[in-house]
Structure 1
Amino acid sequence: MTTAWKFRDAPNTACYTTTDVLNGLPVKHVYHDYDGDWQFHGASDVTTVSSFQIACLEEMIKYNDLLTVLHDLPYGWRAEWNERARNWDRFKDNPFPSFAENGYYLEDAVWLSEYLTDIKPPPAEIRENLDIASHVKIVFRFAHEDSDRVDGQCERLWVEITAVDEQNGGYIGRIDNAPYHEAARCGDLVSFHSLHVADRYSEE
């Protein structure tokens, strides 16, 4: 019986890895970049040009069963294999809010749009080229990233873009209305990615 495919990405998704991993070296470091790319490395996560390889996601999982549990590793996170615990330790690898640091995190609006009919993010071309002073709607979730979802955890807030964060491929903005949850306030600055943009205000 074939195990159901759990990854959000298609089985034929191209991934970055190394010659050593393809030759059987166990994967110890996994990165899920904010552009959606997967990286799989051995004991060292330093990759030289000569060891750089491309493989499809299905093949990586097929020969590394322990990678299956990382199907829900969020964009911008990394995982390291903990030999003692025989499990993966997960780490935020991005500048965007997390519940541990901020009391909330930002929902992937593109992902949400697959399940909620009233979430319709603008096309990527628009989301990735927003101007300073533009107003965008972002979904804030005031709960731990791995917690069960219940009503009342999320708020859709307008954020005014104050800067383009070219280093991290995102934006910096100021919350422009008053949140119900106390972890965030009107006027707070927040870093976000184009994937977090659920809507854009337009006077048209």
Structure 2
Amino acid sequence: MPDRDDTWPFEDAPNLACFTVRSIMNGTAPILYVSHDDDDGAWQMLTSDAADMSQAMLVALAELVERDRTLVELADMPLGWTASRADASSPWMRREPVIRPRKEAVVYFELDDGEALHEEAPETFYIPPREQRANLQPGQLAKLVFRIEHDETVDVERMWVIVEQVTPTGYIGSLNNQPVSTDELQVGALVPFGPEHIIQIYDDE
């Protein structure tokens, strides 16, 4: 384990305990998702943002860096940010937090489950087939249902996002509409979402 000196790229000590999962430590899965938590400064090195935390372990930061040297690229990642990649050979894509912790947030949003909405009204609430929703590529447009909470009110808006990256659990998109109900959520905000949230796919043909 390296000493904390000029060659160590992280501000945190090499022996800082970090969250990871057994599949990473036994070599059966790569690190595809990294979180630098805003509340306590902890690092999480996981297989995805939906990793099975029943298999969680605490491992020294230096040991994780030794296993995956690409983590050095994330050493300066600010608190609250995350990074993900499609596979071990893909570049890391950093994601700035869209929302501050809820207790301080001016605006907070959730995405409605489009599949659940379709099940409630299959004859009138149409969504694209699962195969299409699960195979979008960067640059495509998908419409999502945002439930936006602000000033003690909740507004529902259907807005388009541009797929920026495909992730192990879905996509990272950038908001392509300015919400009508608030100025706190801006065009370009990054929005993680899954196939289940998609209610429409833009077709320019």
| Superposition TM-score, scaled by structure 2 size | 0.45
| Superposition TM-score, scaled by structure 1 size | 0.45
